[in-house]
Amino acid sequence: MLFCIADTAYIVKDKYTAQGYDMQFGANTLGHLLFIRKLYHLLVSSTTPECPTRVIWASSSLHSRCASPFNYDALRDTPARSQKFITPQTLYESSKFAIVQLGLYMSRTTFNDDGVVMIVVDPCVQVENPSSRNAVTKLVSKVSTPTS
Chain segment 54-84, per-residue pLDDT in tens: 888 877 766 666 766 777 788 888 887 777 6
**Domain contains 138:** yes
**Domain contains 130:** yes
Mean pLDDT of 42-48: 91
Identify the domain containing residue 93 by its residue range: 2-6+19-144
**Domain contains 28:** yes
**Domain contains 14:** no
What DSSP character marks residue 26? I
Please work out, in degrees rounded to the nearest 5, the angle formed at the alpha carbon of residue 23 by the alpha carbons of 110 and 70.
Answer: 60
Q: In this structure, what CATH number is given to the domain that contains residue 139?
A: 3.40.50.720
**Domain contains 119:** yes
Map residue 142 onto helix, strand or coil.
helix
What DSSP character marks residue 119? E
Whole-structure pTM value: 0.74
pLDDT per residue as tens digits for the range 108-122? 887 778 888 888 887
* Number of C-beta neighbours around residue 112 at 10 A: 17
**Domain contains 89:** yes
**Domain contains 137:** yes
Q: What is the pLDDT of residue 42?
A: 94
As a whole number of angstroms, the distance between CA 79 and CA 132 comes to: 41
Tally of domains within the chain: 1
Map residue 59 onto helix, strand or coil.
coil
How many residues does the structure list for the chain?
A: 148
**Domain contains 13:** no
pLDDT per residue as tens digits for the range 91-147? 888 888 888 888 888 888 877 788 888 888 877 654 444 444 444 444 444 444 444
